[in-house]
Amino acid sequence: MKKLSLVLLVLILTLFLSGCSGNADLYILNWGDYMDETLIDEFESRYDVRVSYKTVGSNEEMATELKKDNVVYDLMFPSDYMIDKLIQEQLIQQVDAQKIPLLAELEIIPTLAELYDESGFTEYIVPYAWGTIGILYRTDKIGLESCLESNGWACLFEEGDTYKSGMYNSPRDAVGAALLYLGYSVNSENQTELALAEAALTDASFFAWGEDNLKGRVLDGGLDLALVYSGDFISEYYTAIDDEREINFDFYVPEPTNVWMDAMVIPTIAEHVDLAHTFINFLLEEEVALVNYEYIGYAPPFSSFYDTLYTDIAEDYPGIAAMFNPYPTGALREMFVYGSASRSETIAHILERAKG
pLDDT tens for the 356 residues of the chain, in order: 334 444 444 433 333 333 333 478 999 999 998 999 999 999 999 999 999 999 998 898 999 999 998 889 999 999 999 999 999 999 999 999 999 999 999 999 987 888 777 777 899 999 999 988 899 999 999 999 999 999 999 999 999 999 999 999 989 999 999 999 999 999 999 999 999 999 999 999 999 999 889 999 999 999 999 999 888 888 888 888 888 898 999 999 888 888 889 999 999 999 999 999 999 999 999 999 999 998 998 899 999 999 998 888 777 777 666 666 665 555 555 778 888 889 999 999 999 999 98
Q: Which alpha helices (DSSP H) does 130-272 contain, by range? A: 144-151, 153-158, 171-182, 191-203, 213-219, 230-242
Residues 191 and 242 in one domain: yes
Residue pair 105/126 in contact by the 8 Å Cβ criterion: no
**Residue 209: Cβ within 10 Å count:** 16
Residues 276 and 157 in one domain: no
Residue 173's alpha-carbon distances to 2, 30, 233, 303, 334, in angstroms, are 64, 18, 17, 27, 14
Q: What is the Cα–Cα distance from 112 to 109, expressed in whole angstroms?
A: 5
Looking only at the bridges linking them, the beta strands covering 249-252 and 266-267 are: unpaired
Residue pair 129/299 in contact by the 8 Å Cβ criterion: yes
- Whichever domain contains 91, its CATH number is 3.40.190.10
Q: Residue 331's pLDDT is what?
A: 52
The C-alpha torsion from 248 through 138 and 31 to 42, rounded to 10°, is: 10
Backbone angles phi, psi at 319, to 5 degrees: -70, -20
In a domain, 320, yes or no: no
**How many domains does one find in the chain?**
2
**Which are the contacts of 309, defined by CB distance < 8 A and separation ≥ 6?**
290, 293, 294, 299, 300, 324
Residues 206 and 332 in one domain: yes
In a domain, 92, yes or no: yes
In a domain, 210, yes or no: yes
Structural domain boundaries enclosing 254: 131-259+328-355
What radius of gyration do the chain's Cα atoms show?
22
Name the maximum alpha-carbon separation found in the chain. Answer: 87
Residues 45 and 66 in one domain: yes
Residues 47 and 166 in one domain: no
In a domain, 161, yes or no: yes
Residue pair 91/66 in contact by the 8 Å Cβ criterion: yes
Residues 334 and 186 in one domain: yes
In a domain, 323, yes or no: no
Q: Say if pTM beats, i.e. exceeds, 0.85.
A: no
Residues 159 and 275 in one domain: no
Residue pair 60/170 in contact by the 8 Å Cβ criterion: yes
In a domain, 188, yes or no: yes
| Burial readout 27-53 (b: 16 or more C-beta within 10 A, e: otherwise) | bbbbbebbbbeebbeebeeeeeeebee
Residues 148 and 252 in one domain: yes
Residues 235 and 348 in one domain: yes
Residues 103 and 125 in one domain: yes
In a domain, 321, yes or no: no
* Helix/strand/coil for 53: strand
DSSP 10-50: HHHHHHHHHHHTTS-SEEEEEETT-S-THHHHHHHHHHT--
Residues 311 and 334 in one domain: no
Residue pair 125/83 in contact by the 8 Å Cβ criterion: yes
Residue pair 215/116 in contact by the 8 Å Cβ criterion: no
Q: Residue 171's pLDDT is what?
A: 92
Residues 166 and 244 in one domain: yes
Q: Residue 52's pLDDT is what?
A: 97
